[in-house]
A and B are shown apart, each in its own frame.
Chain A
Amino acid sequence: MIDRLSLRARMLIAAGGAALLVAAALAYVVVTRDGAKATPASDGAVVVDGPRMLVVSERKLATVSATDVSGPREVHDVDCVRSYVAGDTSVCLRPKDAWTHTLVTMNGQLKDAHEYQLPGVPSRARVSDSGRMVSWTTFVSGDSYTSSGMSTRTGVIDTTTGDYVPSIEHFSVTLDGKPYRAADVNYWGVSFADDDNTFYATLATGGQRYLVRGNFTAETVETLATNVECPSISPDGTRLAFKQAIDNDPLKGWRISVLELSTMKVTDLSETRSIDDQPAWLDDETVAYTFRATDGVPSVWSVPADGTGTPTKLADNAESPAPLAHG
C-alpha cells in the first residue's frame, strides 16, 4: 500500500510525522524545564548540637545530629553525591557536567582545596581517620550498554605528599597465599588503617569477591576471606564492618556484618534489611549506614556493632554518613 504512494506523498507524511514528534519532544522538554525545582530548602544558619554527622541530602552536603532524627539540619552550599570526612579532610564526589564527575578535597571550612577528575560514576568515598589518605571507587561502563561490561575503578590520594594513584589495579596480588594475575581484577570499597599505609578493600576476580589487606607503599594486596565487600575499619582498628552478599549471591541482597580481625569471626548485625553501602563507624560500638527504600529515597540508620539491639533511624532523606569530630 505504501509502495503505491508517490514520493511527494511519502515526503509529506514524513515531514508531518517529524513535526509531530519534534513537537512532542519539545513539549516534554519545556514542561520538564518549568517543573525543575529550585534547590532544597535549608534550615539556614542552624547550629547542630551534640554528636554530629556529615551526610548528603538532596545532593547537598549537610550536617545533622548523629542521635536525634528530628534534630535540625544545616545544609551546606556544597554539591555532593558521595562524601566522607575525617580529621581535617572532607571529600565530595560530584558531577562536573553531564558525563564527568570529580573528587574534591576540602579543608575544615568546606572550602575546595583540590579537584581530581574521576572516571565513571561515583560509588564510594573514604578518608583515613587522620585525614591523610583519601580513597574512592567509581563504576566504569564499557563503550556501549549493548555490550555488557561493567567494572569498577578504585584510586587513592595521599593528601600529605599529593600523590594521586588513579587506579590500584596494578598492585601485586597474593590470592590464597599464591601470586595471582588476571585481567578481570576489580577493587572497591577501600578503608585505611591508622598507619595510613595498611588498607582493606574488596577484590573481585573470577566471579568471587575477596577481602584483601593491602600495603599502599609496597603496592601489594593479599586475600584474607571471601564474600566480604566494602570493609570499614573500626576506630580501635580491631574489627571491620562490611556488607556480605546473602548466600554469597549479590542478587539476594546484602547483610551488614562485623568481622573480628584477630579471630576472623563474623557477627551479623541486627539490621535484617538489604543494605548496599560501605558502613561507617560512629564510635567503637556503633555502625551507621544508608538504607534505600523501594522508592529510592535514602535514610541513615545506626545499629550496635555486636549484633544486639535494633536499628535506629538517624536522618531522613540522607545518605553517605560520616561522623564529625566534636567541636
Chain B
Amino acid sequence: MYLTTVTKPTNADPVRGRVAGNVVALGAVSLITDISSEMVAAILPVFLFLNLHLSPAAFGAIDGLYTGATALLRLVGGYVADRTQQRKLVAGIGYGLSALMKPALLLAGRSAAAIGAVIAIDRAGKGLRTAPRDALITLSSAPESLGRAFGVHRAMDSTGAFLGPLLAMAVLALTAESFDAVFITSFCIAMFGVLVLVLFVRDHRDPLEDAPRVEFSQVRGMIASPAILRLLIASCILGLVTIGDGFVYLVLQGREDLGIAWFPLLSVGTMAVYMLLAVPLGALGDKIGLRTVMMGGYVALGLVYLLLVSPIHGIPSLVLAVILYGIFYAATNGVLIALAGPVIPAHLRTTGIALIQTGQALAYLVSSIAFGVAWGLWGPVAACKVSAGAVALAIAASLFLLRRTTEGLAA
C-alpha cells in the first residue's frame, strides 16, 4: 500500500475546489449534534453537583474507570466499519447512542454509578462515530480539496458547539430553570441529527466492492507499512507535546491574575478563532501543502507556550494567546486527518483513522500527566519552557518522518 496506489477520488461526483454534498451533510449532522451535546455539557456541572448533590470525588473516580474502555471501543468500531463496509451505519449507531443518553440522564436518578455509565455510553457514542465520519469525508472528497472539506466540516462542528450553550440558556429562561426541559430538547435535537444522517449522508460502498474482505491480518500489514507507521508515530509525537486546554488556561489565568468572570472567555475566544480559520487554513493546505499548514499550527502552539513565559502581559498577551491557540486548532485538527486519509488504503481507512485518533488521544493523556509532573518538579514557568522546546523537537521529528508524505500527495 504505497502512496502511488492511493485510490482516486471515490465519490460519485467530486468537484475540484468545491466541497462535496456528502461533506456538507456530515457537517450539518455534526452541527446539529454539537448543539445537542454542548447544551447538556453547559449545564451538567450545575445539574450533577447542585441539583443531584453528587460528590465530585465519587464521580471523578467512576469517570476515570471508563476512559480506557472507550478508547478500545473506538478501534473496534473502526475495524467493524471497514469489515462490513458500513461506515454510515457504525457512525449512525454512535450518533443514536449519544442521543438516547440525554433522556437516560434523567432516568439515572441520583446514582453516581448510573450517571457515570450514561456519560460513558454518551462518550462511547462519540468515540464510535468519529472515525467512520472522518473516513466518509475523505472518501467523499478529491484528495486535492481535502483540506477545505475538513475545514468546512470542523467549522460547522464548532458552530454547533457555540449555539448549544445559548440554546440551553434560552430553554432555562423559558421554563423557570427546568433542567429536564434542557435534556428533552437536547434529545429532540440529537434525534434530528440522526434523521439528517440517515436521509442525506451517503455511504461509499460501490467502488470498494471489489476489495477483498477486510481481515485482521490486513490491519497488521497496514500498521507495518512504512508510510502509515511514520504517520502514526508522527501524530503520537505531536500529541505528546500538546499539554491540553486546562493547563494553558490555568497558566494564563495564574500569570494574568484574570478575573473569574473572564476566565470562560479564553475557551470561547479560542473556539471562535478555530471556527473562523478552519476553512481558510484548510484551503491554504490544499494550495501550499497540508503538512506545511499542520507544522505551522504546531509552531503556533510553541508560540503559545513561549507566550506563557514571555514578558508580554495584560490584554495583549491574552488576545495573542487566544488567536495563536485558535490557529493551532484550525491548522491541525482536521488537517491531520486530511493528510492521513489518502495515505491509508480506502478499504481500511476507518481503522487507520481510528488508530491515529486513538494514538493521539493516548499521547494527550501522557503529555498532560508529564506536564503535571514537570510543573511539580520545576514550576509552571520551567514546565512551559520545556514544552516549547519539546514542540520544536516534535516539529523537526515530524518533518523528517513525513518528508515523503507530501511528495506522494503532490504526485
Taking Cβ atoms with an 8 Å cutoff, the residues of A that contact B are 2-3, 5, 10, 13-14, 17-18, 21-22, 24-25, 28-29, 32-33, 36, 81, 97-100, 117-123, 139, 141-150, 152, 166, 170, 181-184, 245, 250-251, 276, 292, 294-296, 298
Contacts and interface: CB of A to CB of B under 8 A. Distances in A.
Interface in B21-36: none
Contact of B177 (A98, A123, A152, A245): A98
B86 interface: no
Given A143-B245, A152-B56, A276-B55, A121 B46 contact: yes
Query: 3 nearest interchain CB pairs?
Result: A183-B375, A250-B57, A36-B176
Contact of A21 (B49, B123, B191, B371): B191
A296 B176 contact: no
A98 B169 contact: yes
B292 interface: no
Contacts of B49: 121, 123, 139
A28 B246 CA distance: 36
B209 to A, nearest CB: 15
Contact of B176 (A24, A33, A100, A119): A33
A82 B260 CA distance: 20
11 contacts: A21-B192, A25-B189, A29-B185, A99-B42, A118-B260, A139-B56, A142-B246, A146-B126, A149-B246, A183-B380, A250-B61
A183 B37 CA distance: 29
B211 interface: no
B168 interface: yes
Nearest to B257: A166
Contacts of A18: 192, 195
B151 to A, nearest CB: 22
A210 B174 CA distance: 44
A238 to B, nearest CB: 28
A100 B261 contact: yes
Given A22-B188, A99-B169, A166-B260, 14 more contacts: A17-B192, A25-B185, A25-B189, A29-B174, A32-B175, A32-B180, A119-B263, A139-B45, A147-B246, A183-B372, A183-B383, A184-B372, A245-B57, A296-B53
Given A14-B196, A32-B181, A3 B202 contact: yes
A170 B171 contact: no
A252 B367 CA distance: 31
Interface residues of B, number: 71
A186 to B, nearest CB: 10
A168 B304 CA distance: 26
B175 A36 contact: yes
A54 to B, nearest CB: 19
A144 B60 CA distance: 14
Contact of B175 (A33, A144, A181, A184): A33
Nearest to A180: B376
A181 B379 contact: yes
A148 B174 contact: no
B178 A183 contact: no
Contacts of B259: 117
B27 to A, nearest CB: 15
Contacts of A29: 171, 174-175, 178, 181, 184-185
Contacts of B176: 32-33, 36
Contacts of B189: 21, 25
Given A2-B199, A183-B250, A144 B185 contact: no
B126 to A, nearest CB: 6
Contacts of B53: 276, 292, 296, 298
Given A2-B198, A117-B261, A150-B56, A122 B50 contact: yes
B104 interface: no
B372 A251 contact: no
B191 A28 contact: no
